[in-house]
Amino acid sequence: MSGWLQVAGLGPGDEDLVTPQVQAALSGATDIIGYIPYVRRVPDRAGLTKHESDNRVELDRARHALELAAKGARVVIVSSGDPGVFAMASALFEALEAGPQGWQDLDIRILPGITAMLAASARIGAPMGHDFCAINLSDNLKPWPIIEKRLRLAAQAGFSMGFYNPRSASRPHQFGQALAILREELPATVPVSFARNVSRPDERIVTVPLGQAREDMADMRTVVILGTAETRQVGRFTYTPRSYPEAS
């Protein structure tokens, strides 16, 4: 048996957002590896071994997956959203680089998925309809001053922004600092959407002007979408026009 390793994006939660490519990978796997809630989304079946691991052990998980594939297993690392966006793909390549040379000959594929920012954007309207950026607000893997600098530059650039991991129990106040920086750089009327559990039955989306956004509107299950000075509301929708005003 020839082993392989695929890192599959399960999307934000709704099974109707899982691509056929990812479903085929899950069907062909002997081993599923990932963070507990993502592994539990994969139905049990004969011949399938599920390896659940805790959050924050991404490198251990990636090494384990590579070891299994090197022994001939057909392994899927499951990731929420898109594996290339603040998820498992980078961790896999970090482990690959640090591991035995032979691992680099393995059959490895990354399977894209619907990332939370774009699933949220679709529910809100089209807030990322112009140029945009995505920033992970967690300072677990980068210094907070870098995040502050990026927020200022992104605001000056006029990007819509998607914020992943805006706030957690161990970092309750940094998101408030981020909002304060954004208020210094942008009009108070710019819409901010808090999208919690996007595409799940308990989805909740709240849009407020930046001037009224508070840090306690976000938690770890929220992706935050910030518009630009050009972002508009029409009916229940929020969208950023394709054209930039100075063009006309």
Stretch that binds a copy of itself, among 64-72, 78-86, 179-187, 208-216 (CB under 8 A): 78-86
CB of 122 to a copy of itself, least distance (A): 4
- The residues in 87-146 that bind a copy of itself, with binding defined as CB under 8 A, are 89-94, 96-97, 104-105, 108-115, 118-119, 121-123, 125-136, 139, 141-143, 146
Site string for a copy of itself, 43-62 (x = CB under 8 A): ---------------x----
Stretch that binds a copy of itself, among 38-46, 66-74, 203-211, 237-245 (CB under 8 A): 237-245
- The residues in 194-223 that bind a copy of itself, with binding defined as CB under 8 A, are none
CB of 110 to a copy of itself, least distance (A): 4
User: Largest Cα–Cα distance of the chain, in whole Å?
Assistant: 62
Residue 43: DSSP 8-state: P
CA distances from 58 to 34, 65, 225, 242 (A): 8, 11, 26, 38
> What is the SS3 assignment for 174?
helix
CB of 164 to a copy of itself, least distance (A): 9
- The residues in 158-187 that bind a copy of itself, with binding defined as CB under 8 A, are 158-159
> From edge to edge, which strands make up the β-sheet containing 237-239?
125-126, 237-239, 232-234
Buried b (16+ CB within 10 A) or exposed e, 50-72: beeeeeeebeebbbbbbebbbee
Q: Does 224 bind a copy of itself (CB under 8 A)?
A: no
Nearer to a copy of itself, 163 or 194 (CB): 163
Residues 167, 173, 175, 180, Cα dihedral to 10°? 170
Nearer to a copy of itself, 199 or 222 (CB): 199
- The residues in 8-27 that bind a copy of itself, with binding defined as CB under 8 A, are 11, 14-21, 24
Nearer to a copy of itself, 222 or 240 (CB): 240
Half-sphere exposure of 77 (CA within 13 A, CB side): 34
Q: What is the DSSP string of 122-169?
A: HHHEETTSSSEEEEE---SSS-HHHHHHHHHHHHHHT-EEEEES--BT
Q: Does 75 bind a copy of itself (CB under 8 A)?
A: no
